[in-house]
Amino acid sequence: MIYQQLFNSSHITSIKPDKYEFFFNYGLKKRVPVKLNGKIRLGRSYYLAKVMFSPDSIDIYAGRDVLDSIKYVYTERLNITNLTDTVIRQVPLLKTRGVKSVPDNVKISLFPDILTEEKVEVPIVAVNMPEGKILRTFPSRVTVTFTVGASMFRTIQPDKFKVIVDYNELIDSPSEKCNVYLRYIPHGVRNAKMDVNQVDYLIEEQ
């Protein structure tokens, strides 16, 4: 469009912007955590055990209204497929108009772990039992099958699981067998399931 207004012999050697935009404040800043922006696809039988940022929080400088609206700072989009081994990368932070991030990039470490299937024997515990009564189940334990990261397996103990029978349910709906429920599982355990959902039982007077 400019050439159309010039002589044919004219030649443009440079173009400069007609204005510059500056943002400033009086030292207002806020420390916010860093979050991953992107999609991490794990390899078969793997899961993402840990994500670490260094630093995990940064300082942002902006006007008060902008600072109040920002809760996190995200990385630029990171897409990784078939992750099976530790990945460490320096990743720029996503830029926001009028906001300065210090630092403006972080180191991200991704730690995948392979899933393994394990089993534990867990005792059945009766809950809501009235005083003077004892509930006995046959069998007294159930087998719980679950998957967990190979590096975490040694930290998983049977007493971290809890399998219960609810006495109130037996009173409300009497039956030859009682239902058992897997009430608690340890952190990191996936796809936990019992080998049976019902067992024989006997209520005894003390």
Last residue in a domain, options 71, 96, 113: 113
**How many CB atoms lie under 10 A from the CB of residue 125?**
15
Residue with tokens 């189940």: 137
Query: Both tokens of residue 81?
Result: 């497929």
Query: Do residue 106 and residue 119 come from a single domain?
Result: no
Return the CATH number at 98: 2.170.120.40
Query: Do residue 77 and residue 132 come from a single domain?
Result: no
Residue 16 covered by a domain: no
Residue 13 covered by a domain: no
- What integer is the mean pLDDT of 104-127? 93
Residue 166 covered by a domain: yes
Query: Both tokens of residue 28?
Result: 């207002």
Residue type for position 161: F
Expressed as residue numbers, the domain containing 77 is: 22-113
- List the 198-205 sheet strands across, edge first: 133-138, 198-205, 177-179
- What integer is the mean pLDDT of 171-182? 88
Query: Do residue 52 and residue 108 come from a single domain?
Result: yes
Asked whether 91 and 78 are in contact (CB, 8 A), the reply is yes
Query: Do residue 102 and residue 126 come from a single domain?
Result: no
Query: Do residue 130 and residue 105 come from a single domain?
Result: no
How far is 192 from 115, CA to CA, in rounded Å? 13
Return the CATH number at 124: 2.170.120.30
Look at residue 141 in the predicted model and tell me its pLDDT.
Answer: 93
pLDDT digits (tens, 9 = 90+) for 11-49: 888 888 878 888 888 889 999 999 999 999 999 889 998
**Strand duo 46-54 + 105-127: pairing:** antiparallel
Residue 165 covered by a domain: yes
pLDDT digits (tens, 9 = 90+) for 45-104: 899 989 999 999 999 999 888 999 999 999 999 999 999 999 999 999 999 888 999 999
CB environment 80-95: b (16+ within 10 A), e (fewer): eeebeeeeeeebebee
Q: What residues are paired with 54 via a beta bridge? A: 107
**Any idea of the CA torsion for 78, 82, 84, 90, to the nearest 10 degrees?**
-20
Alpha helices in the chain (DSSP H): 64-69, 167-172
Percent of the chain whose pLDDT exceeds 90: 62
- The model carries a pTM of 0.66
Q: Give pairs for 179-182: CB < 8 Å, separation 24+.
A: 180/124, 180/137, 180/142, 182/144
Query: Do residue 130 and residue 108 come from a single domain?
Result: no
Residue 127 covered by a domain: yes
Residue 105 CA, distance from chain mean position? 22
